[in-house]
Structure 1
């Protein structure tokens, strides 16, 4: 039994635009404006792909740079035992609204000097409690570098910001190009209508002007 193949399905839209752009569709009814429109769409798609690659590269570079900086910073940090001089005081961080607790504390810096300052502590800290303080080589308290997840989230945000900006510019350029092509197509159609409408309607150009 011989199987008769069914009709071919519709050409995918991307392939259709690709064929029109390179005059591979073999359709004599496709206008030059249609081919220009297809080229504009393909170039925009290519630009968005390149924008995605650029934004991913920028995010990766930012992540690697920040992690290297944090690694170098971490090698210069020291954990010391401190004594809380006051109970924990609740603080609200400006801008973020997050709650943190601080207390005055005393500790011995890596160079042997006795140092006092305000440090972050647990919320249940009371005066006289032992707290762990992270300091630099000079004994100044410093926060711990952000973790990998936090750094990755910031790098991803940077990549999305770059991609969004580039994609917005490309889409805006595409819309402008399509508007110009549509306006040109309308002008060509109006010109063709003036030339061929009398032939289609059976009227003469004089009758058309009289009407």
Structure 2
């Protein structure tokens, strides 16, 4: 396959979808690990320090640019493939196969992807943009004791208080929590199908391996999406403060 065909041929588009999807899966592991810092229940000290590292260090910032590139590639190629697939299916089957032909979530990847895109826009607007471009209240942490201290205290370092912003948004605006939970549920089904589908695209055809990848996809989706859903629930239920 020529390089020019990667963006134009059906196989090339699927390779881009699979490759970008697996990169985003790796990002989800990092993101879920960072978010798990909220359960230290230390007033956000660990979480704010981790978020500061991701936003202030050169390597994560470079990877962040790559992340947005892969997001765009994944979204654009997904939309293109969905339009192409729908145009090929204008004449339906005489007998509806339902889940005997394919699982409902594999047929609904376009809808699931659209829900995730809406969730992503809300998520970036509420948290990523303020954390990168200002608008967050500062918090001062003594790095020697890992305690929140007043401004100007000896040993105090200023951080963006993204933790407080999350607590405020999730507890004061239930609609944001609902959008977040719906988006993560859509992400769950997207991962269940997408992980094993990506490896199929890269040539895995052995049914034993496909079955293992399917199980691994379910386990991964349950752990990662379970962690994400528990975030707004933990704030709303008052389990962390």
User: One fold, TM greater than 0.5?
Assistant: no
TM-score, length-scaled by structure 2: 0.25
Please, what TM-score do these two structures have when normalized by structure 1? 0.28
Which structure features the higher share of strand residues?
1
